[in-house]
């Protein structure tokens, strides 16, 4: 239980700025979770079986989130030795914040694995280089994006573009326009000379923070205790709910107070989310108790 009078503890619980990348050409699954794949082609190798075993060992070492790894030998018309690398995460999509932390994005983990495997100059990781022989006239490796179906069947993804929605969850004190400018500057600096980059702003809102010093908050705690018949616990969250900041800007002096009844046995905003009638009734009773006492906080002024 967090003491209601310790504002510093609440501030420590508030979100820090984080960033999430949602692949724009999602190949399978939901926005956050799903599957991703790439076809990796080697132009030369004397022992394809040894190469497959060594690759699988290499990818397991670069799999910090323990995604499921599938590495299949693929027969093609070319002389290249080809493998399909498929990463599978989960099939359910959690709401950010309800899952207890960052979640793995299959495409991003796949990109990191390939980045560890081959450098920008075309050279391979030393343990893979020992098995493959290369020449200076020909690149040692080629990669192609895969369209991965449910069940891990895969085919080549023909679109040469890579798209993503970049979401930056801002902490109180940050500003959306400054974050947008910083992101564009960073990406342009990292852009390879052979690639083109297009960035388009989608939407945004500044984060918000509310102190608990206003007289409405102890009255709210009292109302919640009466509604739920339990002593309430205050914790910091919701600082990136965009419409709250817009309301507080439009109506100066508004005290943000968000009550969200749902089923504690399900995760908020997940597929299959349920509503607990007991929790909903407790919230309803609390709101009625709050409205009945709200004038105490505003000293007979009309509450905002």
Considering the domain boundaries, does residue 187 fall inside one? no
Report the alpha-carbon distance of residue 192 to residue 55 in Å, rounded: 26
Considering the domain boundaries, does residue 303 fall inside one? no
Considering the domain boundaries, does residue 55 fall inside one? yes
Considering the domain boundaries, does residue 122 fall inside one? yes
Are 29 and 137 found together in one domain?
Answer: yes
Are 230 and 140 found together in one domain?
Answer: no
Output the pLDDT for position 148: 83
Are 140 and 268 found together in one domain?
Answer: no
pLDDT in tens, 183-231: 999 999 988 888 899 998 888 877 777 778 889 999 999 999 999 999 9
Are 159 and 227 found together in one domain?
Answer: no
pLDDT of 232 > 80? The answer is yes
Are 158 and 213 found together in one domain?
Answer: no
pLDDT of 3 > 60? The answer is no
**Is 151 strand, coil or helix?**
coil
Mean pLDDT of 12-39: 60
Of 85 and 205, more confident: 85
pLDDT in tens, 94-135: 554 444 445 677 888 898 999 999 877 778 888 888 887 655
Mean pLDDT of 10-28: 55
Of 166 and 292, more confident: 292
Of 219 and 48, more confident: 219
Considering the domain boundaries, does residue 237 fall inside one? yes
pLDDT band at residue 88 under the 50/70/90 scheme: confident
DSSP string, 31-81: SSSBEEEEEEEES--S-HHHHHHHHHHHHHHT-TT--EEEEEEE--SSSSE
Beta pairing class for 164-169 and 141-148: unpaired
Output the pLDDT for position 101: 47
Determine the number of helices (DSSP H) and then strands (DSSP E) in the chain: 9, 7
Output the pLDDT for position 15: 53
Output the pLDDT for position 171: 73
Considering the domain boundaries, does residue 199 fall inside one? no
Mean pLDDT of 254-258: 83
Last residue of a domain, one of 109, 143, 163: 163
Backbone angles phi, psi at 79, to 5 degrees: -85, -5
Are 212 and 148 found together in one domain?
Answer: no
Alpha helices by DSSP H, listed for 233-274, are 242-250
Last residue of a domain, one of 110, 143, 163: 163
pLDDT in tens, 124-172: 888 888 887 655 445 578 888 888 877 788 888 777 777 777 878 777 6
Tell me the torsion sign for CA atoms 262, 88, 118, 195: negative
Q: How many Cβ atoms sit within 10 Å of the Cβ of residue 228?
A: 16
Considering the domain boundaries, does residue 277 fall inside one? yes
User: Is this prediction's pTM over 0.85?
Assistant: no
Of 186 and 237, more confident: 186
Are 143 and 252 found together in one domain?
Answer: no
Are 156 and 236 found together in one domain?
Answer: no
**Mean pLDDT estimate for the chain:** 79
Are 152 and 45 found together in one domain?
Answer: yes
Mean pLDDT of 266-281: 77
pLDDT in tens, 36-46: 899 998 887 77
Last residue of a domain, one of 163, 189, 223: 163
Are 25 and 157 found together in one domain?
Answer: yes
Considering the domain boundaries, does residue 117 fall inside one? yes
Output the pLDDT for position 23: 61
Residue keyed to tokens 């990109």:
111
Tokens of 223: 């109302």
Number of structural domains the chain divides into: 2
User: Which secondary-structure segment (H or E) carries 189?
Assistant: helix 176-190
Are 158 and 25 found together in one domain?
Answer: yes
**Is 278 strand, coil or helix?**
helix
Are 90 and 24 found together in one domain?
Answer: yes
Residue range of the domain that includes 270:
7-12+208-298
């Amino acid at each position: 239980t967090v003491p209601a009078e310790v504002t510093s503890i609440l501030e420590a619980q508030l979100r820090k700025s984080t960033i999430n990348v949602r692949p724009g050409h999602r190949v399978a699954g939901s926005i956050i979770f799903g599957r991703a794949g790439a076809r990796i082609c080697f132009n030369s190798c004397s022992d394809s079986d040894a190469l497959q075993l060594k690759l699988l060992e290499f990818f397991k070492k670069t799999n910090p989130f323990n995604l499921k790894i599938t590495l299949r030998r693929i027969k093609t018309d070319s002389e290249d030795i080809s493998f399909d690398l498929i990463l599978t995460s989960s099939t359910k999509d959690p709401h950010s914040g309800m899952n207890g932390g960052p979640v793995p994005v299959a495409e991003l983990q796949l990109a990191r694995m390939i980045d560890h495997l081959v450098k920008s100059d075309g050279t391979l990781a030393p343990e893979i280089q020992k098995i493959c022989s290369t020449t200076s006239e020909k690149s040692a490796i080629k990669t192609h994006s895969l369209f991965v179906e449910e069940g891990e069947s895969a085919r080549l993804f023909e679109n040469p573009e890579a798209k993503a929605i970049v979401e930056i969850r801002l902490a109180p004190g940050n500003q959306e326009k400054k974050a947008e400018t910083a992101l564009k500057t960073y990406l342009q600096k990292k852009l390879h000379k052979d690639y083109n980059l297009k960035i388009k702003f989608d939407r945004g809102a500044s984060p918000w923070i509310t102190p608990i010093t206003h007289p409405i908050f102890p009255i709210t705690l009292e109302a919640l205790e009466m509604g739920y018949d339990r002593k309430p616990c205050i914790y910091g969250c919701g600082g990136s709910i965009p419409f709250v900041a817009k309301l507080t800007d439009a109506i100066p002096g508004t005290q943000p107070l968000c009550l969200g009844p749902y089923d504690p046995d399900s995760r908020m905003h997940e597929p299959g989310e349920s509503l607990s009638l007991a929790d909903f009734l407790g919230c309803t009773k609390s709101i009625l108790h709050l409205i009945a006492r709200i004038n105490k906080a505003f000293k007979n002024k009309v509450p905002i």
